[in-house]
Amino acid sequence: MLQHTVQTCIHSDTQLKYLLQLADNALILSHRNSQWCGHGPILEQDIALTNIALDQLGQARNLYQYAALLLTEKTGITTTEDQLAYLRDTGEFKNCLLAELPNGDWGQTVMRNFLISSYQFFLYQELQYSNDGQLKAIADKSIKEITYHVRWSADWVVRLGDGTAESHARMVQALELLWAYTGEMLEPCDYELPFIAKQSSFIKAAWEAKIAAVLAEANLIHPTNDWMQSGGKKGIHTEHFGYLLAEMQFLQRAYPGLEW
């Protein structure tokens, strides 16, 4: 009986970390993308990226709401989605480093979105078969949106990679900078294993095939370096992350409990 209780606790703790990791990736990428609002290269694409940021925020909200519900049930203390998004500090966030890196130029931004959205696509495709009903529902809903994010970002990678000498050079630079951060997404850490241990090699292979196909179409040479940076999933973040949270969390920190 005691054994059973302990296992349940471990499981729900792992589940919580897993949900937070998914949510943090969506929120932090959304925040970075939202920083383009009003600064996009042309109006239509400014609107497109802002819409993508909104989708990602919506996905993060669904995941935080679910995590908050589990936490409330577990601890008996009411926890809200806002507390999870706005009152945790750097070490508690579990997003991949790739999501938090600065936007750089438009090329770097669309490349980052392509690398992450493609991963999310294959991941959520698997989560649609999750035996956790709520996670499955969130995956069913999110993948429709992510499908458009992959199309949009892949289109831009091809357009710029196979564009002018200047745009091509920028994309080469973006890929070189971002590549070492892609490995972290693809290698499941301890709290992800119970959820995607069996699927992770398939997700990785599908992601690699998609990336290779689009890079080839974009006339970009596939990177060969395989040393990968990691840390975000364990709460060890880049120096950029504190500044990101300072901006994103300012309102709730300065005016606790403020509602829109």
Partner 1 sequence: MESSLDIDKEKRVWDILETVSDPEIPVLSIVDLGIVRGIELMDEPTSLTISITPTYTGCPAMDMMAAHIRIALADAGFLKVQINQTLSPAWTTDWMSEAGKIKLKAYGIAAPVAKAFNKEYLEDLQMECPNCGSTQTKLISEFSSTACKALFQCKDCLEPFDYFKCH
Binding residues for partner 1, rule: CB under 8 A, are 44-45, 47-49, 51-52, 54-59, 61-62, 133-134, 136-138, 140-142, 144-145, 147-148, 151-152, 155
Q: Which residues are CB-contacts of 36 (< 8 A; sequence separation ≥ 6)?
A: 46, 49, 50, 53, 103, 109
Q: Which residues are CB-contacts of 155 (< 8 A; sequence separation ≥ 6)?
A: none
The sign of the torsion formed by the CA atoms of 169, 213, 95, 236 equals: negative
Q: How many CA atoms lie within 13 A of 197 on its CB side?
A: 4
Calculate the CA 74 to chain-centre distance: 26
Q: Which is nearer to partner 1, 140 or 176 (CB)?
A: 140
**Rounded CA separation 94/88 (Å):** 11
Q: Which is nearer to partner 1, 33 or 95 (CB)?
A: 33
Q: Which is nearer to partner 1, 136 or 228 (CB)?
A: 136
Q: Which is nearer to partner 1, 90 or 147 (CB)?
A: 147
Least distance CB 51 / partner 1 (angstroms): 4
Least distance CB 124 / partner 1 (angstroms): 12
Least distance CB 206 / partner 1 (angstroms): 14
Residue the block writes with tokens 């956790």: 132
Q: Which is nearer to partner 1, 81 or 184 (CB)?
A: 81
Least distance CB 151 / partner 1 (angstroms): 6
Q: Which is nearer to partner 1, 16 or 26 (CB)?
A: 26
Q: Which is nearer to partner 1, 124 or 241 (CB)?
A: 124
Q: Indicate the DSSP class of residue 233.
A: G
81: left (phi over 0), alpha (psi -120 to 50) or beta: alpha
Q: In 35-95, which residue ranges form alpha helices assigned H by DSSP? A: 43-75, 81-86
164: left (phi over 0), alpha (psi -120 to 50) or beta: beta
Least distance CB 204 / partner 1 (angstroms): 21
Least distance CB 56 / partner 1 (angstroms): 7
Least distance CB 145 / partner 1 (angstroms): 6
Q: How far is CA 123 from CA 15, 38, 87, 102, in A?
A: 16, 31, 27, 24
